[in-house]
Amino acid sequence: DAGITQSPRYKITETGRQVTLMCHQTWSHSYMFWYRQDLGHGLRLIYYSAAADITDKGEVPDGYVVSRSKTENFPLTLESATRSQTSVYFCASSEGVSQPQHFGDGTRLSIL
Amino acid sequence: QKEVEQDPGPLSVPEGAIVSLNCTYSNSAFQYFMWYRQYSRKGPELLMYTYSSGNKEDGRFTAQVDKSSKYISLFIRDSQPSDSATYLCAMTPSNSGNTPLVFGKGTRLSVIA
């Protein structure tokens, strides 16, 4: 089945640690996105990518790093995790940047 | 003012009720409108996708766009407990544009049996 897979589903780590969240899609979509979802804020775009090696900042990029060496993968790295980055992270993909997006089921990240 | 405003709820209705969920927006350039449904501990899934003004119906769901008022609605007829979820609106000026979708914050709906 075509789809989008995020791993891990749950992660607990400590402040200052590096954490990488994985996202893999089998739709062959050009665009991939990372969002965080917090109560009271809704979905906030962190980074997005139009193709391999092309990435753009979203609304809240500080503290995050992305890479896209292969079209199907779009990992998100927190280089030095902070408590304010505790959130649910969603990856999404679409054919075009303004086309409907398909979402993964999220990674619930807790930073202690 | 946020580009897209959506009442967060929660909205609680009895089973069988007609539900109305709404978003207002400020950018008159928006022409493509989407509704997503998000169940607890799941990602959002596309429910409805409409262009410009008018109505679109899909089963018990009707999406309505009023561009003159910058207002979109999602109606759910004969609501079921399985409709309990968070509903997010999203919109964009063009389906071939160069900017990402703008999402509302979502409205939480509970349908009580």
Q: Measure the CA–CA gap between A37 and B46, rounded to whole angstroms.
A: 17
Q: CB distance B93–A103 less than 8 Å?
A: no
**B105/A41 CB distance under 8 A:** yes
Whether the predicted pLDDT of A86 surpasses 90: yes
- Determine the distance in angstroms separating the CA of A81 from the nearest CA of chain B, rounded to an integer: 23
Q: Lowest-confidence range among A101-110, B2-11, B43-52?
A: B2-11
Low-confidence winner among A8-17, A63-72, A76-85, B52-61 (lowest mean pLDDT)? B52-61
Q: How many CB pairs under 8 A join A and B?
A: 58
Cis peptide before B8 (omega within 30 of 0): no
Taking residues A45-65, what's their average pLDDT?
96
- The number of angstroms, rounded, from the C-alpha of A93 to the middle of its chain's C-alpha atoms is 10
Measured between CB atoms, which of A100, A103, A108 is closest to B49?
Answer: A100
Q: Is B47 helix (H, G, I), strand (E, B) or coil?
A: strand
Indicate whether A51 pLDDT > 80.
yes
> CA of B75, closest CA in chain A: separation in Å?
20
Confidence of residue A2 (pLDDT cuts 50, 70, 90): low
Contacts of A84 (CB under 8 A, 6+ apart): none
Which positions in chain A touch B88 (Cβ < 8 Å)? 42-43
Query: Residue written as tokens 């009442």?
Result: B7
Mean pLDDT, chain B, rounded, equals: 93
What does the pLDDT read at residue A84?
97
Query: What does the pLDDT read at residue A1?
Result: 59
Q: Report chain B residues whose CB lies below 8 A from the CB of A48.
A: 100
In B37-52, which positions are buried (b, 16+ CB within 10 angstroms) versus exposed (e)? bbeeeebbeebbbbee
Percent of chain A having pLDDT more than 70?
98
Give the β-pairing of B107-112 and B11-14.
Answer: parallel
Q: Which amino acid is at A60?
A: V
d(C-alpha B95, C-alpha B92), whole Å: 7
Set of chain B residues whose Cβ sits within 8 Å of the Cβ of A40: 8, 105
Q: Which residues contact residue A39 at a Cβ distance below 8 angstroms, ignoring those fewer than 6 apart? A: none
Residue B1 has what pLDDT? 63
Angstroms from B84 CA to nearest CA on chain A: 17
